[in-house]
Amino acid sequence: MASNSFGNFFRITTFGESRSEMLGVVIDGCPANIAISEKEIQHDLDRRAPGKRFTSQRKEKDLCHIVSGVYKGKTTGAPIAILIANEDSQTLEEENTVLKPSGANLSYFQKYGNFDPRGGGRASGRETALRVAAGGVAKKILKPLDVKILAYLSQVGEIVIKEKKMTFDEKKKRVEKSSFFCPDIAAEREMKKFFETLAQEKDSIGGVVSFCVENLPPNLGDPVYEKFHAHCAHALMSIPAARGITIGEGFFSACKKGSEHNDLIDYEKGRLHLCSNHAGGVLGGITTAEPFFGSVAFKPTPSIGKLQKSVTAKGEKKEFRSLTERNDLCIGIRAVPVVEAMLALVIVDSILMRNALRALS
């Protein structure tokens, strides 16, 4: 199995499965002398961790351990290795034999001739803890540049938040106070009632995670195949259960005329600037320094408590059912810090690429 690495100049490689003894990520290309600590990385890991209401009740502390690349609180320029132990490695007997409907075991078996029966193996959401850990390092690199990244739950099923006018910091405060990373208090109440009903039905639901980035440096990304938003799309669509992505006004752009969607250009105080931002901060694949925003759609988790018809890898007909207390009702909740992490990884990688090209010119 290849393709366990992501990034060009700032590159991560992850290893470990859903119920293996250990998970790990190696970060290559991190600049030296970046102050970083396990405590700083742990903040986002705690946001993503299971055990909260309406999420998987798998008992994992997700404590991170930096084992290389950092000395006396600063990066050395050497590869950074971060390990996270799997403490709750309970394996369900039914999951050992029956292919999970809409899970990755079928495609893994067809491609490789076998699959890891311990939960979802490499396809499990457990792998995203490593992305978040690496994203914590990337965020620390971005901090002196004041790049602000925020993701939040904007839709659950048919419940859609109302995007109210507020500053980035105001929205961030609301998101951090919310149990579901939702900035709309009224929508959060609706979601809570819906989740309570969904739990009784032993089912799951899809969701949408929206994101926005402020103070994004200009000139990131290159035409034609290294467009900034294309890298973001790759990063975000690599998250387990991601099924769709929009940048800027996305599919709403198809409903508008050019006269309505065009971002007009003006010149004030010695600089060019855009009068609007329908494009979402990217033109021609290159960042404009305007806010970068969009959304990611996540499918319902296939692990539900209802009986579903399936077969074993040998073709024997059987029924599959997951233990609902170990499953997420909506993947979108815990995907919020993962979306932020993947955006941070792309931004740092793009900055290092831009700087490298400048050095060569």
| pTM (two decimals) | 0.94
Task: Please tell me the predicted confidence (pLDDT) of residue 323.
Answer: 62
| 8 A C-beta contact, residue 328 and residue 335 | no
Q: Does the pLDDT at position 57 exceed 90?
A: no
- The pairing of strands 148-156 and 64-68 is unpaired
pLDDT of residue 120: 77
- Provide mean pLDDT across the span 327-340: 94
Q: In percent, how much of the chain has pLDDT > 90?
A: 74
> What's residue 41's pLDDT?
97
Query: Of the ranges 100-104, 125-129, 172-176, 348-352, which one carries the lowest mean pLDDT score?
Result: 100-104
Q: Which two tokens stand for residue 310?
A: 């399936």
Mean pLDDT for 9-22 is 93
CB contact at 8 A, 298 and 243: yes
Contact 175, 256 (CB under 8 A): no
The contacts of residue 41 (CB under 8 Å, 6+ apart) are: 64, 66, 82, 133, 136, 137
pLDDT confidence band for 303 (50 / 70 / 90) = confident
Domain ranges, ordered by start, for the chain: 5-360
Q: Which residues contact 241 (CB under 8 A, 6 or more apart)?
A: 125, 298, 299, 301, 331, 335
Tracing tokens 């800027």 back to the chain, one arrives at 248
User: Residue 93: its pLDDT value, please?
Assistant: 44
Q: Are 185 and 240 in contact (CB under 8 A)?
A: no
The residue-averaged pLDDT of 204-221 equals 97
* Residue 279: pLDDT band with limits 50, 70, 90: very high
pLDDT for position 55? 75
What's the whole-number mean pLDDT along residues 67-93? 88
DSSP state of 78: S
Whole-angstrom distance, CA of residue 196 vs CA of residue 330: 12
User: Cβ contacts of residue 284 below 8 Å, gap of 6+?
Assistant: 223, 227
| Pick from 18-27, 111-120, 279-288, 304-313: least confident | 111-120
The neighbour count for residue 218, using CB atoms within 10 Å, is 12
For 137-151, 280-294, 305-319, which range has the lowest pLDDT when averaged over its residues? Answer: 305-319
Confidence of residue 205 (pLDDT cuts 50, 70, 90): very high
Residues 6+ apart with CB under 8 A from 28: 10, 11, 12, 13, 79
Does residue 325 surpass a pLDDT of 70?
no
Query: Is-contact 10 30, C-beta < 8 A?
Result: yes
Q: Residue 92: is its pLDDT beyond 60?
A: no
- Region 19-37: mean pLDDT is 95
Q: Mean pLDDT, the chain, as a whole number?
A: 92
The verdict on domain 5-360 having CATH code 3.60.15.10 is no
Give which of 8, 42, 4, 70 is closest to 222, Cα–Cα. Answer: 8
Angle, to 10 degrees, between the axis of helix 331-360 and the axis of helix 38-48? 140
